[in-house]
Amino acid sequence: MGREDLFFLSREEILAVPGGDRAPLAVVRARRAAYVGLGVLPTYPTLIRGEFDPATWAADPNRRPDRFDAQDTTPATDTVAGSPASAGVVEGIARVVATVEEGEVVRPGEILVTTVTNIGWTPLFTRVSAIVTDVGASLSHASIVARELGIPAVVGCGNATTRIRTGDRIRVDGGRGTVDVLEPAASSPEFA
């Protein structure tokens, strides 16, 4: 038994081993494998309500990264909902960007889809036709700048970056706070 094996045993199991009980050591391998398996899953939602199975949640393409509610039986749709931030309706190609450093790939007229923005993102806003964020409210950076520039924005979607893919043709309705996936991205290397 190695020192690191102790982390996979309960207090009672650790105390039993010096007394000659080797049975607790038999579970270490399985517990270590479970630990490694759970470690590769996405970060769990901040709010979890009800029975939560991390592997099932991670496999769901419509999962929300911000919350999980086991009692939510609303059928999944192609509509991503958020807070209306800047009025207007635009249809276009989505560009999912994780960091501002990746912003150089955003083409003029595309719809920026990201987790959250700050002042460093502002130069990208002049290139895009609409903005969609996972995090935000009416006074967030994305909302204020989008209104100033007159481009539609939907913020606080919670799961836009997991539900929308680069290359998807989407419709952003900044007045209603909805984003509809009109046509999934073609399997083209252009949007890889």
Q: At residue 109, what are phi and psi to the nearest 5 degrees?
A: 90, -10
The token pair that represents 115 in the structure block: 């987790």
Q: Cβ–Cβ contacts within 10 Å for residue 80, how many?
A: 26
Which letter does DSSP use for residue 150 in this model?
T
The distance of Cα 135 from the centroid of its chain, to the nearest Å, equals 10
d(CA 52, CA 70): 7
Query: Could you give the 3-state DSSP secondary structure of residue 191?
Result: helix
Helix (H) or strand (E) holding 48: strand 47-49
Note if 141 is an active site residue: yes
Catalytic entry in 112, 141, 161, 162: 141
Sign of the CA dihedral with 41 first, then 47, 51, and 56 last: negative
Helix (H) or strand (E) holding 170: strand 169-173
The token pair that represents 192 in the structure block: 């890889």
Residues marked active site are found at 141
